[in-house]
């Protein structure tokens, strides 16, 4: 049948072992180390992401830096894709799956976006 893993399994999400991405991207190579020299203001990025995440936070979980996407927010793969696309559009960046694989919680996402967006600035 071979269809398992055509996409990703929710199994990973339910177990809380998955990172932001659930398409098996954990096997991908680590992301580039981007420079943080021009990092955007963290508080500003945080508030923009907080607004973006609202419609995806179905259970109105209180979001802290430690909130995990797969575990606490119960994001499945489709939600991850839509949410990542919103952030990419908002900040005009690419968050490749390799990079997503390193992002497990909210705080890490804010840091990553700061680095990526700052790089371009």
Partner 1 sequence: MSEGVNEADRPEVLAGEGTDLFSKFDPVITMRRDLLDSGVTDPFNLVMEKVLSPTRAICNGRDTILLGTYNYMGMTFDPDVVAAGTQALAEFGSGTTGSRVLNGTYQGHRECEDALREFYGMDHAMVFSTGYQANLGIISTMAGKGDYIVLDIDSHASIWDGCALGNAEVVPFKHNDIEAMEKRLRRIPEGAGKLVVLEGVYSMLGDIAPLKEMIAVAKKYGAMVLVDEAHSMGFIGPNGRGVAEDQGVLDQVDFVIGTFSKSVGTVGGFCVSNHPKFEILRLVCRPYVFTASLPPSVVATAATSIRKLMHGADKRARLWRNSRTLHAGLLEQGFRLGTSETQSAIVAVIMPDLERGATMWEALLREGLYVNLARPPATPANMTLLRCSLCAEHSEDEVETILGMFQRAGKAVGII
Provide the total of helices (H) and of strands (E) in the chain, helices listed first. Answer: 5, 0
Closest CA to 110 of 63, 43, 59, 62: 43
- Beta-bridge partners for 68: 105
| Alpha-carbon torsion (106, 58, 73, 79), positive or negative | negative
Count of chain residues binding partner 1 (CB under 8 A) = 36
Q: Using CB under 8 A, which of 87, 93, 108, 121 touches partner 1? A: 93
How far is 87 from 100, CA to CA, in rounded Å?
Answer: 12
Is position 27 an interface residue for partner 1 (rule: CB under 8 A)?
Answer: yes
Q: Using CB under 8 A, which of 36, 54, 65, 89 touches partner 1? A: 89
Is position 79 an interface residue for partner 1 (rule: CB under 8 A)?
Answer: no
Query: Looking at 40-48, 52-60, 61-69, 83-91, which segment touches partner 1 (CB under 8 A)?
Result: 83-91
Q: Using CB under 8 A, which of 20, 29, 90, 111 touches partner 1? A: 29
Q: Using CB under 8 A, which of 67, 77, 105, 111 touches partner 1? A: 77
């Amino acid at each position: 049948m071979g269809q398992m893993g055509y996409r990703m399994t929710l199994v990973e999400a339910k177990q809380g072992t998955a990172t932001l991405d659930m398409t098996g991207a954990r096997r991908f190579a680590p992301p580039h180390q981007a420079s943080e020299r021009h990092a955007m203001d963290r508080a500003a990025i945080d508030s923009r992401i907080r607004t973006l995440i609202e419609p995806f936070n179905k259970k109105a979980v209180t979001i802290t830096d430690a909130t995990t996407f797969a575990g606490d927010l119960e994001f499945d793969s489709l939600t991850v894709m839509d949410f990542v696309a919103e952030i990419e559009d908002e900040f005009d960046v690419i968050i490749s799956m390799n990079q997503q694989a390193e992002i497990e919680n909210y705080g890490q996402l804010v840091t990553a976006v700061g680095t990526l967006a700052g790089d371009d600035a």
